[in-house]
């Protein structure tokens, strides 16, 4: 890589030359950007269309997504806006009047409800591991719902008080221990013989529990239950899961509007963890040296991947965060230069607020994978902290009741 001769930010052309090449969305690893997945087959083999959210956040969509990826079923994707992020597309409301996601077309037949969708897929393509109606799988599916309810009763009920917090935490922990026991009863790190629909059903919400309980309760699920940590580690060995995996920051700020509120317990541990999740640096150090978010070491190209993803959406990002002003464009080039060269660089005076606002809105996996997002958030923060006029500027607050600040429309030009 050519180093710049002085402290000036790299030009857009120079930045382009540093960006990672685009991965193969159709036949390469699982990714949230794909509109078609073929797994090396002909397009004529496609029997499935998955209607899922633009935001790559909907947990029920993640369940179906992961199942299709694990089973390597060719499918098309049509993306829809969740009400929390913007206006629902009229064409989708004509197809599914409730507007609920996911929906799936199989051989031209429309199916809604994620469990019905998995059942239909299983009938058409065979089970993923053990069938959904297998008694052990059924029992695990019921356990997942119980765990989900206990999580909601801890996370989403305001004013629990000290005693209520303790009781809700204990009730959740008992069910998490039951999940851990079920995992320990299996021959490997998954519930049954190998990864199956039972694991896929647990993934979306246990991922959200792990993130939200760290942020709002200072509770580290993976540290508390070794079998759950080993399960995550086994998942994190799979490119299917890594393509769909979100991070603590994204879940912490996307859950409140979806769940009707998430309530912090205010403990010292909770506040410390929340501050680190919001602003880094990463990884968040644990006493045993582990990383509570991921067992994956950072890929060598994570900064270049982050850069490529920003450059792809450069125009709407400049409009949204800098109102198209040259000042912000220069600040962003400074941050991107720092991202690649790891060399601190001051932005134009008065741009720290916009840089930090952007850092708070990077969404994983929608925008980029976990490690790429960490790098980009760090580079934006480092650049903001060197603002000659306002180094401590605070970002615009992240809305709690909706996320229309994340409306996907400006980013869809030329993509649909
Ligand atoms: N029981 C349904 C639940 C699906 C669901 O709650 N989907 C939410 C997103 S996570 C939704 O589409 N809400 C409407 C919206 O956000 O626009 C299933 O399993 O598919």
Distance 49 CA to ligand 1 centre (A): 17
Rounded to an integer, the average pLDDT of 125-154 is 98
Q: What is the pLDDT of residues 267-302, one digit of tens each?
A: 999 999 999 999 999 999 888 889 999 999 999 999
The number of angstroms, rounded, from the C-alpha of 337 to the middle of its chain's C-alpha atoms is 25
Band of the pLDDT at 50, cuts 50, 70, 90? very high
Q: What is the mean pLDDT of residues 118-126?
A: 98
Instruction: Give the pLDDT confidence of 141-153 residue by residue, as tens digits.
Output: 999 999 999 999 9
Average pLDDT, the chain: 95
Give the residue, by CA position, lying nearest to ligand 1 atom 17: 82
Residue 124 pLDDT: 98
For residues 175 and 62, give the distance between their C-alpha atoms in angstroms, rounded to a whole number.
22
Q: How many CB atoms lie within 10 A of CB 22?
A: 13
Give mean pLDDT, residues 53-64.
96
- Residue 261 confidence (pLDDT): 97
Q: 58, 98, 121: which to mutate for ligand 1, most atoms within 8 A of CB?
A: 58
- Count CB atoms within 10 A of the CB of residue 14: 16
Q: Which residues pair with 51 in a beta bridge?
A: 78, 103
Average pLDDT (61-68) is 98
pLDDT at 386 over 80: yes
- Count CB neighbours of 231 within 10 A: 26
Confidence at residue 155, expressed as pLDDT on a 0 to 100 scale: 98
Given the CA of residue 98, which atom of ligand 1 is nearest to it? 14
Query: What domains are there in the chain, each with its CATH number?
Result: 36-125 (3.40.30.10), 135-279 (1.20.1050.10), 301-411 (no CATH)
Give the pLDDT of residue 3.
43
Rounded-to-10 torsion of CA 263, 269, 271, 272: -150
CA distances from 234 to 220, 239, 344 (A): 18, 11, 37
**Ligand 1 first shell, C-beta below 6 A:** 58-60, 82-84, 88, 99-102, 113-115
Q: What average pLDDT does this structure show over 342-360?
A: 96
pLDDT at 4: 44
Query: pLDDT tens digits, residue range 217-241?
Result: 999 999 999 999 999 999 999 999 9
Nearest protein Cα to ligand 1, atom 1: 113
Q: Are 128 and 200 in contact (CB under 8 A)?
A: yes
At 1, is the pLDDT very low, low, confident or very high (cuts 50, 70, 90)? very low
Summarised one tens digit per residue, pLDDT across range 159-212 is 999 999 999 999 999 999 999 999 999 999 999 999 999 999 999 999 999 999
Average pLDDT of 293-319?
96
CA 250-305-16 angle, to 5 degrees, is 130
**Nearest CA among 1, 12, 3, 2 for reference residue 330:** 12
State mean pLDDT over 402-407.
Answer: 85
In angstroms, rounded to a whole number, what is the distance separating the alpha carbons of residues 274 and 5? 39
Confidence class of residue 416 from pLDDT cuts 50, 70 and 90? very low
Are 212 and 262 contacting, i.e. CB atoms less than 8 angstroms apart?
Answer: yes
d(C-alpha 34, C-alpha 74), whole Å: 12
- The average pLDDT across 354-371 equals 97
d(CA 51, CA 178): 33
Torsion region of 21: left, alpha or beta (phi above 0 gives left; psi -120 to 50 gives alpha): beta
> In terms of pLDDT, which residue wins out, 242 or 406?
242
The pLDDT of 257-269, averaged and rounded, is 96
């Amino acid at each position: 890589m050519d180093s710049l001769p002085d402290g000036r930010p790299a030009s857009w052309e120079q930045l382009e030359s540093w960006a990672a090449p685009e991965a193969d969305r159709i036949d390469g690893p699982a990714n949230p950007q794909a509109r078609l997945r073929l797994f090396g087959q002909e397009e004529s083999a496609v029997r499935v269309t998955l209607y899922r959210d633009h935001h790559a956040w909907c947990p029920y969509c993640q369940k179906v997504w992961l199942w299709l990826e694990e089973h390597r079923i060719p499918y098309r994707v049509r993306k829809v806006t969740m009400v929390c992020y913007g206006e629902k597309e009229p064409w989708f409301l004509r197809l599914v009047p409730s507007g609920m996601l996911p929906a799936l077309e199989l051989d031209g037949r429309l199916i809604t409800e994620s469990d019905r969708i998995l059942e239909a897929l299983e009938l058409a393509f065979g089970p993923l591991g053990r069938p959904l109606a297998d008694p052990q799988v059924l029992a695990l599916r019921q356990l997942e719902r119980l765990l989900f309810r206990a999580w909601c009763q801890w996370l989403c009920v305001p004013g629990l008080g000290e005693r209520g917090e303790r009781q809700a935490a204990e009730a959740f922990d008992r069910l998490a221990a039951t999940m851990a026991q079920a995992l320990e009863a299996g021959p490997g790190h998954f519930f049954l013989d190998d990864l199956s629909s039972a694991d896929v059903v647990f993934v979306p919400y246990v991922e959200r529990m792990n993130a939200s309980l760290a942020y709002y309760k200072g509770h580290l699920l993976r540290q508390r239950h070794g079998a759950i940590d080993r399960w995550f580690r086994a998942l994190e060995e799979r490119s299917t899961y890594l393509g769909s995996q979100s991070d603590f920051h994204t879940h912490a700020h996307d859950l409140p509007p979806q769940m009707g509120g998430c309530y912090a317990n205010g403990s010292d541990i909770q506040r410390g963890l929340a501050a680190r999740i919001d602003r880094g640096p990463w990884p968040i150090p644990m006493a045993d040296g582990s990383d509570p978010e991921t067992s994956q070491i950072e890929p060598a190209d994570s900064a270049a991947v982050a850069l490529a993803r920003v450059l792809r959406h450069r125009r709407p990002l400049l409009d949204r965060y800098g109102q198209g002003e040259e000042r912000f464009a220069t600040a962003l080039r400074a941050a991107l230069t720092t991202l690649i060269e790891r060399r601190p660089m001051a932005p134009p005076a008065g741009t720290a607020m916009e840089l930090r606002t952007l850092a708070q809105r990077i969404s994983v996996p929608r925008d980029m994978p976990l490690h790429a997002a960490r790098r980009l958030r760090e580079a934006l923060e480092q650049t903001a902290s060197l603002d000659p006029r306002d180094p401590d500027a605070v970002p615009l607050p992240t809305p709690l009741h909706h996320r229309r600040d994340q409306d996907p429309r400006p980013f869809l030009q030329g993509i649909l």
